[in-house]
Every structure is written in structure tokens, then in C-alpha cells.
Copies of this chain bind each other. A is one copy, B any other.
């Protein structure tokens, strides 16, 4: 029964990558049973994904920062501060949302480059540099919101980012049709790319996984995509937040896996010395990664402000810790060079699922903190142990 053997092999070899998914599925099923179905209901899944959006994008950036052996504690208040700036530009300066968003993202990049300067140029440890940044931007946030306090945003387009959904076109047995279409397209694209991939590989005659396994994989993944879109279609369909998170994920996944820049990031993380000797400009890579981090912080700020339809004076508090936790649950390693963007997203969803599920069950806030702490520790222990054994 070498089919089984192959499977068990695949799993053993990739336990670190699969572990996270298995954990997520386990958590989801558990909660679903305990809440007798509510957890996996269309609306809850939809809410859950939206609620994790602004942390997920941070986690993506943080993963790369940790991959190159740094850390960024300032992201939280950077997000809060830029969110407030966005609100001010929209409501007090009356700029158009199409102007505001790019401005905010650019501001984010500028802030990131300043961090980069401290870290790459002056060689300040990232931890302290960003700790200082954290204080500074907390002050800045208070400063800009001082006069007004909470700033409500009355811009439908802007608020749609955090609360709106793709139009349904029409409903079909009150399922959101556009969502179903997107799901279908997704499945087709996935199958197509897998086939092409396999075809290329065999064209170059590399060895590929056996046909049955391949088919099982195809069916399984397609099923999941279909199931999720089907669920979402049952409520309001795909939210703009989800669209943005998916875009960010895809872009970063592509960059890290398919582009030279991506290679260089992992090279720097895995062995800075060797990277330098291989002609990689370590400083530039650092600038890039820090820049992207703060740009995503800006995006996170936009998502958050839009979600609350207002910029509050404490926005951003402790975002950084949630993001870092998500990244580590997602399997990034502070030893550098190891960590996937997709992992970060899963990590963020795991943490969000915990909070959401425990809220559904009415678990007290104090237990929620402890459980989240326990899960974080557990995830990292699992990671470290499997990595040791892997060698």
C-alpha cells in the first residue's frame, strides 16, 4: 500500500508546515461542536475573517521583519497614528479618499525607511529603535487627536473598506452569486495552475508526486475553497477587507517565492555574512523590509479606522504584540531565514478564531488571555521541537 506510505512520508516531511493547518482545523471543529454549529455559520466566519484583517496584514509584514532577524514594536501606534491622519485628511481637509489612501501608504513607507535608517545605517538594535518609535508615535497620535478626540469618518467609500462587501449582483437560493462565481473561478485557476505546474515539472522530467496523491490533493483543496466561498456566499459574501487581505497575501507570497528580492530577504535572514559575500546589499534589503512593514502598518491603520468608522485616541495599542504572536504561531523563526507569508495569515486566523470562539462560548476575558498565551507558547514549542527533530 505505497499510496499510504507516500502520504505518511509527505506528512512527516512537511509536519511543520501542515501542523499549523491541522491545528486550525482542530480548533475550528472543536468550537463548531461546542457552539453546536454557530462557529462555522456563514455570518460568524465572515465576521471572524473581517475581525482579523488589520492584524493579518501586520503579521505578513512582521514575518519578513523577523525573517531578517529584526523586530518592529512601533507598528501598532504607527497604524493608529496614520489611521488618525487618514481621518483628518478625509474629514478636516476634505481630501478625496482616492488621494488619502495613497498618501497614507506613502507616509507609512517613509516612516519605515526611517526605522531602516536607524537599524541598517546606524546599527541600532531593532528592538530599541522600534521601542522608541512606539513612544514617539503614541505621542503623535495623542497630539493629532487632542483637539477633536475621536474623529468620526463619514465617507462611504472609506468606510466600505472595513464594513462593505462585494456587490451580490443577484441571489440564488439566497446565496451571494458573485461570491459563488469568484469561488468557482478560484477553483478553476487553482486546478489549472497545479496541472500546468505538474506538466512543466514532468516536461523537465523532475519527479512529481504520484497521480492518486495528486488527485486527492486537487480535490481536497478545491473542496476547501468551494466550501469557504459557499459559506461566505450564505451571508453578505466577500468583504472588501477580505479582498484586501487576500491581495496582500498573494502579492507577498509571490514576491517572497518568485522574485529576486524575495530570495535576497531569505538569504539575508539565513546568513547575512554569506549574503554580503554573494553580492547582496544587506542594507537595502533591510530598508525594503522595514519600509514594507510600515506600509502594511499604514494599511492596517486604514482598515482599522474604516472598521470603526472613526479614528480613536488609543487606536493601535498592542497591535504589535498580536501581530508578532500571529507571526510566531504561523511558524516564523527568530533564528532567521525561516517563515512563510501564508503561515502568518493562518497564525492570525488561529488567534482570531480563539477570541471569536471563546466570545461565542462566553468565556471570561481573564481565561481568554491565559488560553491565548498558552496557545502561543504551545505553537512555538511544537515548532522548535519539530525543527530540532527535522535535522
A residues bordering B, Cβ < 8 Å?
71, 118, 122-125, 127-129, 131-136, 138-143, 146, 321, 324-325, 328, 333-335, 364-374, 376-377, 380-381, 384-385, 388
Contact = CB atoms under 8 A, between A and B. Distances in A.
Number of copies: 2
A319 to B, nearest CB: 14
A123 B373 contact: no
Nearest to A125: B334
Nearest to A332: B128
Contacts of A118: 377, 381
A379 to B, nearest CB: 9
A35 B133 CA distance: 28
B381 A122 contact: yes
Contacts of A380: 124-125, 128-129, 132
A388 B122 CA distance: 10
Given A125-B380, A334-B128, A136 B374 contact: yes
Given A122-B384, A122-B385, A364-B146, A369 B135 contact: yes
A124 B71 CA distance: 16
Nearest to A136: B373
Given A131-B324, A321-B131, A325-B131, A124 B381 contact: yes
A78 to B, nearest CB: 12
